[in-house]
Every structure is written in structure tokens, then in C-alpha cells.
Amino acid sequence: MVLHNALSYLTNFMSSPAPPCVGVYHMLETVGKGTFGKVRRARHVFTGQYYAVKIVTTSVLKHDLPANLDIRREMSILRALNHPNIVRLHDVMVSHSRVYLVMDLASGGDFFSVISNKGRLPESLARRYFRQLVNAVHYCHQHQVYHRDLKPENLLLDADGNLKVTDFGFSAMKDHGHLLLRTNCGSPHYCAPEVWNGTQQNGYDGSKSDAFSIGVILFVLLSANQPFCHPIERELLKKVNRCEVKYPDYISPDAVDLLKKLIVRNPSERWSLDMVKRHPWFLAGSLDTMSLTTIPSTEWVPSDSQAPSDELCTKCKVRQCYQNNMLTSNNNNNNANKPAPGLPVV
């Protein structure tokens, strides 16, 4: 019987059409769709290792200048980074019609989907992923890279349950002649006030704006809700600018204290990631191996939100890059009154 099954499997394998091959990679199923193209799982012909391949058509690069700049920026930055909690770029291949970016495969999905489906994380588990996030972003800052679009959708989980930061299309690299950033980028739910409100006329500190986003992400991990939410983007930005947050009673005092150090309107009063890494909540507990792939289902805490499930499962698709404080998005649509979907607000 065992021999029969083996022969049957071999016969089916030999008779089935081979998957399309690009370079040394067999292209498999589509696992996602990004802003500029699809993402497919691929297997290395010789090693058998699996990767995620982002496929971008050359027509996009020719006719969409912002997309061209985003992709080139992401390629340049990922080539310069090497950290266990940052998605790595392993290879780039170009054909007459497509560009293929071969990256780490994060098969566990993104944090937005996980939290939308399962609820808020136990605090010990949230701390573990927060540490990984802080360490990854701090590493970026040490290499003069500022992400500028940190949000749960851009945090992936690999097969071992570890966090991977991805999507560096809006990132910036600081050069020696320009210490501050000027381009208004990001997703409104997670973006620091100074990036949008024009108060930093000489530019803003990318490390402090990333720190604000990290604080909002921690709030989401601990509550499965967003601290700022409104269906109209202009009103949402007003809420972010006021920076008034209601902290649920179930979040521990130490965690609330840390959140209040990060979700701060004035960037000069906001903590740096160096300071975050010395906070009691960050240092508490053990560096154990618990992850989203090993935690028992009984440990999950359902969200206390009364929002309908379709709202919980809607990703924050408002992702813009504004120049000179002009409200013009990448696709030149007027988004002033466009709904800004996301997790429900507390």
C-alpha cells in the first residue's frame, strides 16, 4: 500500500504541469496583492526554500512616477538592512515586462488581520512583539532609515511566529546635509501630528514620528481598537492633532505609562526608542518563546468593541504622501472627504 501510494504520487507529480519559472524560482500561488502588483509564493529550484515574490509591471514603473520612486526607495533601503525582524530583500530580477522582488516569506499573515480575527493580545505576548518591533525600528534609525508608515498591516508574522517589518515604500534615508524630513507621508490613524499639521515648518524628526506610530500600534495590540478614528479623514486628523486618548481600564498602569510617553502631541516631549527600551514595562517579564503560533486559543482576549465585524476586518487603505502640506494623494484623487477605515475606536 505504501509503495502504491508513493508510485501514485510520483506519477501525478511527473504528469502535472511544472509551475512557471523565473530565474531559479518556481512561481506558485498568489498570496497577496500590494499597491503596485501581486505577491506570489515561490520555491527556489535548488534549495527548496520558499520566498515571497513581489511582482511589479514595468508599465507601472514607466507611467507612475510616485510608484517608481516608492519601489526604487524600498529596494535601496532593504538592500542596506539586515535584521531578524525586518523582511529581507534576497534578489531582484527584471524581464521586459516585469520586475520581481524576492523577499522573505511571512506565512503567518499581518497583525491587523490577526487582531481583527482574534481580539487583543495578552499583555505578555503584546510585550514580546512590541520588543521585536522596537528593536527593528531602532536598528533602522541607527542606519539613518525612517519607516514613516508603521501600522499593523505592515507588520508580518513568519512561520516561527516572529514579527517582520515590511513595506518601506514611504521610508526616508537621512543624509548629512538634511537632519529633518519634510515630506508628509503615512496612514492617518498611525501618523504623528507634526507630520500633518505643519507645525514643524523646518521639517520633522523621523525617529520621533516613528515612535508615535509605534505607540499607536502598541495601543492596538493591547486593546484591538484604535485610539483615533473618524469616518472623515479631515476630522480624523483633527483627533490625531489633539492627541486625546482614552485608555481602557484593562491595560496595566505600566503599559499606560509607556503609551503616554509615546502618544504625545509635542515631538520634543515624546520618548525616543532608546528611552522606551529602558521603560519598566518593556523590561518586565521573561524573554520566552511564546508567539502567536504557540499561544493557546484560550489565552486570547476578544475585543470589547461593539463595532460590526465588517468594520473590524477593513484595513486602513488611506496611505498618502503629501508634498508641501497640499492634500493631493499618490493617485491624484481628492481624499479630503474619503472615509478612513480601520479598527474601531475605544
Known binding positions for ATP: 62
| 259 neighbors 96 (Cβ within 8 angstroms) | no
- The residues annotated as belonging to the active site are 149
Give the separation between CA 309 and CA 312, rounded to whole angstroms: 5
**Distances, alpha carbon 212 to alpha carbons 150, 225, 251, in Å:** 9, 16, 18
The amino acid present at 221, given as its one-letter code, is L
Task: Put the strands of the sheet holding 89-94 in their side by side order.
Answer: 21-22, 25-33, 38-44, 50-57, 98-104, 89-94
| 55 neighbors 37 (Cβ within 8 angstroms) | yes
Handedness of CA 175, 325, 213, 221 (dihedral sign): negative
The amino acid present at 79, given as its one-letter code, is R
Give every CB contact of residue 56 below 8 A, 6+ residues apart in sequence.
36, 37, 67, 71, 98, 99, 101
C-alpha cell at 84: 531578524
Smallest CA-to-CA distance from 245 within 225, 268, 272 is with: 225
**∠ CA 74-76-82 to the nearest 5 degrees?**
90
| 152 neighbors 177 (Cβ within 8 angstroms) | no
3-state secondary structure of 37: coil
Smallest CA-to-CA distance from 44 within 29, 28, 26, 31 is with: 26
Give the separation between CA 125 and CA 295, rounded to whole angstroms: 9
What DSSP letter does each residue of 225-264 carry, written as one string? SBSS--SBHHHHHHHHHHT--PPPTTS-HHHHHHHHHHS-
Angle between helices 111-118 and 206-223 (to 10 degrees): 20
C-alpha cell at 225: 481598537
